[in-house]
């Protein structure tokens, strides 16, 4: 089986600071992986550089054995909620429709069929009743669900999510994780930037520990160990609620 | 339809400023959501030296050459702002301030020098500062309207793409919509509207015609499409009304009248806008307060008596 995502020797910088240094890893199909690391470890930068939203200094990335431009429609990206202006005048359904723009075709208008698909995606996220709600009037968790519905509707094979659980309520966290599990059961591959160490073992079958470079990567049971996490986080970490180090 | 008191030429000019205002209203909406309203001000000021150099090169008033000069000036200004921002620690607002004042100062200096040349004083170069729609002839109107229509078409045909790009450019890129292409197209349209507008509105006030209609439209609607349409209408009305008003006095500059018309529409929107107008909000708050002041049993009765 070929890899879904292969990253080799990827480096990137912001101004003069190298925030990503020689990151190398391969993601297997059908896995649900958490990207974990301290603040400033380059987690978001890793996603952005993989997706060519941020320039890479060196290294290569391939999706399904092909360069990104060839397989864009098979890759769904869910940016951080704070990356857009939620005051933008539009409603939830319209945002979800944006996920279909690639399939609708440039310069064409979305039809009834597309609207129904978008509605279905909202339904899957439990957001049906908010379809015509202004996005500025949605709660943070609801906004995140709209973003996820927009990714769902793309029907991609690989999903990259940047902190989808940051600042959402418990109900939304459950709904999002249920959706990610569903995607996995459909054979999709999911990569999630995650910040909460407490839930890593419950939610993800693979872990990628990152601190400017890949510290460890593999199945959660083998990779997410105290010593490995310490290597990624340094000495200030409380491991499973117990202070150490 | 003929408008009383306006000459044949003035009616052509009216058509020109109407189309200009419409295009400015649409592009102004895009600038608003790109958070670049001030950029339009910097670029219109930056176009002045280009206009004067265009005039000096030909030696007479040749509108296409002067507009090409204006476009070159504005684009150079845009490039400089981008360069200052990306290659130094100076933030974008400061970079815009620098470019705006330096280019405008340079333009005024050139204007003073060129005005001493023979024949220049009569050429109406001064009208590019505050705008003089009356100085336009039919050929100018055709050129302006053609360019403004081009902007209109680009915005309408790619409306869905504009919306996606303005709301979430990173996601747009993931779908294969090139950010570089959209940014270039946006800059192209913005510069085109500025270039088209400076003869009628002037470099100093051009930005007001780009910014004000969009801000006014925001007070009326929660839909991006309706906001763009409203902004276009507000811009077109401001352009036309300002032109008509300035035509009633001899030698009155058009720009200030257009801007004041746009400002009047803004004040009306601010007060009565259906979305967040001051009056609407006051009424809503008053109703809410009255509801909350009622004794509890009355409120329950009002809710149908089933709230326990």
Q: Residue B298, class by beta-carbon neighbours within 10 Å (0-12 exposed, 13-18 middle, 19+ buried)?
A: exposed
Q: With bands split at pLDDT 50, 70 and 90, how would you rate the model's confidence at A245?
A: very low
> Are A150 and A179 within 8 A, CB to CB?
no
Contacts of B166 in chain A (CB under 8 A): 88
Residues of A in contact with B164 (CB under 8 A): 98, 101
pLDDT at A239: 65
Q: Write down the pLDDT at residue B4.
A: 59
A53, B173: Cβ pair inside 8 Å?
Answer: yes
Torsion angle, alpha carbons of B170, B175, B181, B182, to 10: -60
The residue with tokens 């055709």 is: B142
C-alpha–C-alpha distance, residues A67 and A89, integer Å: 35
pLDDT in tens, chain B (308 residues): 446 567 788 888 899 999 999 999 999 999 999 998 899 999 999 999 999 999 989 888 888 999 999 999 999 999 999 999 989 999 999 999 999 999 999 999 999 888 887 666 666 788 899 888 877 888 888 988 999 899 999 999 999 999 999 999 999 998 889 999 999 999 999 999 999 999 889 999 999 999 999 999 999 999 999 999 999 999 999 999 999 998 887 778 888 999 999 999 999 999 999 888 899 889 989 999 988 887 766 666 655 545 44
In tens, the pLDDT along A127-176 reads 999 999 999 999 999 999 999 999 999 999 999 999 999 988 998 999 99
**Could you give the residue ranges of the DSSP H alpha helices within chain A?**
43-50, 92-98, 101-104, 112-124, 140-154, 170-185, 200-203, 220-223, 226-233
> How far, in Å, are A49, A125, A224 from residue A76 at the CA level?
15, 16, 26
Structure tokens at B5: 């008191």
pLDDT confidence band for A194 (50 / 70 / 90):
very high
Of A52, A73, A106, the CB nearest to B161: A106
CA angle (A78 as vertex; A120, B26 as ends), nearest 5: 85
Chain A residue with the nearest C-alpha to that of B228? A89
Contacts of B222 in chain A (CB under 8 A): 89-91, 134
Q: Tell me whether 0.95 is exceeded by the ipTM.
A: no
Taking the CA atoms of residue B97, residue B103, residue B106 and residue B111 in that order, the dihedral angle to the nearest 10 degrees is -120
For residue A243, the distance in angstroms to the closest alpha carbon of chain B comes to 39
**Who's near B135: CB < 8 A, 6+ residues apart?**
B124, B127, B199
Q: Chain B partners of A101 at a C-beta cutoff of 8 Å?
A: 160-161, 164, 175, 177
| A98 interfacial to chain B (CB closer than 8 Å) | yes
pLDDT for B1: 43
- In CATH, the number for domain A5-243 is 3.40.50.300
**For residue A74, what is the DSSP state?**
G
Domains of chain B and any CATH numbers: 8-276 (1.10.3470.10)
> How many whole angstroms separate alpha carbon A143 and alpha carbon A169?
12
Residues 6+ apart with CB under 8 A from B87: none
pLDDT greater than 60 at residue A47: yes
Q: Which of A4-18, A202-216, B264-278, B293-307 has the lowest mean pLDDT?
A: B293-307
Residue B110 has what pLDDT? 93
State whether residue B116 is helix, strand or coil: coil
Backbone angles phi, psi at A67, to 5 degrees: -70, 160
Contact B161 A85 (CB under 8 A): no
| Residue B228: φ, ψ to 5° | -65, -45
- Report yes or no: A84 at the B interface, CB cutoff 8 Å: yes
Say whether residue A95 is in contact with chain B using an 8 A CB cutoff. Answer: yes
Closest to B209 in 3D by CA, of B160, B252, B257: B257
| Partner-chain contact A89 B221, CB within 8 Å | yes
Position with higher pLDDT, A70 vs A234: A70
pLDDT reported for residue B308:
42
Q: A98–B227: do the CB atoms touch at under 8 Å?
A: no
Measured CA to CA, the distance from residue A214 to residue A191 in angstroms comes to 14
Asked if A102 lies within 8 A of B176 by C-beta distance, the reply is yes
Question: How far apart are the C-alpha atoms of B29 and B298, rounded to whole Å?
Answer: 46
The whole-chain average pLDDT of chain B stands at: 89
Q: How many helices (H) and strands (E) would you count in chain A? A: 9, 11
Identify residues of B whose CB sits under 8 angstroms from chain A CBs. Answer: 33, 157-158, 160-161, 163-164, 166-168, 170-171, 173-177, 218, 221-224, 227
Mean pLDDT confidence for A72-100: 93
Instruction: Tell me what pLDDT residue A241 has.
Output: 56
Q: What is the pLDDT of residue B131?
A: 87
**Is B167 in contact with A102 (Cβ distance < 8 A)?**
no
pLDDT band at A40 (very low <50, low <70, confident <90, very high): confident
Q: Which of B157, B163, B174 is most worth mutating to test chain A (most A CB atoms within 10 A of its CB)?
A: B174
Q: What pLDDT sits at residue A14?
A: 86
Query: Contacts from B68-73 at CB under 8 Å and sequence distance 24+?
Result: B70/B194, B70/B195, B70/B198, B71/B47, B71/B191, B71/B192, B71/B195, B73/B46, B73/B47, B73/B48, B73/B49, B73/B103, B73/B107
């Amino acid at each position: 089986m070929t890899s879904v995502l292969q990253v080799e020797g990827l480096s990137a910088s912001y101004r003069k600071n190298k925030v990503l240094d020689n990151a190398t890893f391969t993601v297997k199909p059908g896995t649900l992986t958490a990207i974990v690391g301290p603040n400033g470890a380059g987690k978001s930068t890793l996603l952005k550089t993989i997706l060519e939203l941020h320039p890479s200094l060196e290294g290569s990335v391939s999706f399904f054995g092909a360069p990104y431009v060839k397989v864009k429609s098979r890759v769904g990206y869910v940016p951080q909620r704070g990356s857009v202006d939620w005051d933008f005048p539009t409603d939830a359904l319209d945002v979800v429709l944006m996920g279909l723009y690639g399939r609708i075709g440039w310069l064409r208008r979305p039809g009834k069929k597309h609207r129904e698909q978008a509605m279905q995606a909202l339904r899957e996220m439990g957001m049906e009743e908010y379809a015509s709600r202004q996005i500025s009037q949605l709660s943070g968790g609801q906004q995140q669900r709209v973003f996820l519905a927009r990714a769902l509707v793309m029907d991609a094979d690989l999903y990259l999510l940047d902190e989808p659980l940051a600042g959402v309520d418990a109900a939304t966290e459950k709904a999002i994780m249920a959706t990610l599990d569903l995607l996995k059961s459909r054979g999709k591959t999911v990569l999630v930037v995650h910040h909460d160490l407490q839930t890593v073992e419950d939610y993800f079958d693979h872990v990628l520990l990152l601190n400017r470079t890949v510290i460890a990567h593999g199945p959660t049971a083998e990779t997410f160990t105290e010593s490995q996490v310490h290597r990624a986080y340094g000495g200030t970490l409380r491991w499973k609620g117990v202070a150490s180090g | 339809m003929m408008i009383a008191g306006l000459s044949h030429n003035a009616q052509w000019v009216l058509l020109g400023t109407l189309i200009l205002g419409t295009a400015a209203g649409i592009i102004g909406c895009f600038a608003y959501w790109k958070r670049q309203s001030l950029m339009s001000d910097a670029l219109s000021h930056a176009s002045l030296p280009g206009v004067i150099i265009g005039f000096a090169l030909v030696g007479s008033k040749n509108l296409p050459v002067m507009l090409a000069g204006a476009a070159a000036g504005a684009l150079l200004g845009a490039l400089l702002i981008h360069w200052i921002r990306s290659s130094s620690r100076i933030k974008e607002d400061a970079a815009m301030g620098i470019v705006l004042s330096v280019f405008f100062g340079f333009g005024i200096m050139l204007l003073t020098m060129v005005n001493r040349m023979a024949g220049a004083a009569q050429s109406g170069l001064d009208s590019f500062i505050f705008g003089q729609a009356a100085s336009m002839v039919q050929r100018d109107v055709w050129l302006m309207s053609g360019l403004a229509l081009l902007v209109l078409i680009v915005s309408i045909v790619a409306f869905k793409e504009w919306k996606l790009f303005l709301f979430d450019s990173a996601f747009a890129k993931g779908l294969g919509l090139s950010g570089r292409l959209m940014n270039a197209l946006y800059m192209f349209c913005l510069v085109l509207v500025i270039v088209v507008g400076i003869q009628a509105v002037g470099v100093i006030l051009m930005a007001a015609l780009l910014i004000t209609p969009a801000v006014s439209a925001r007070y009326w609607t929660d839909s991006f499409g309706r906001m763009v349409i409203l902004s276009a209408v507000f811009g077109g009305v401001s352009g036309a009304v300002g032109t008509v008003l300035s035509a009633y006095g001899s030698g009155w500059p058009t720009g200030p009248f257009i801007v004041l018309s746009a400002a009047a529409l803004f004040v009306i929107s601010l007060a009565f806008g259906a979305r967040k107008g001051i009056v609407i909000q006051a009424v809503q708050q008053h109703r809410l307060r009255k509801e909350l002041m009622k004794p509890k049993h009355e409120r329950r009765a009002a809710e149908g008596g089933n709230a326990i």
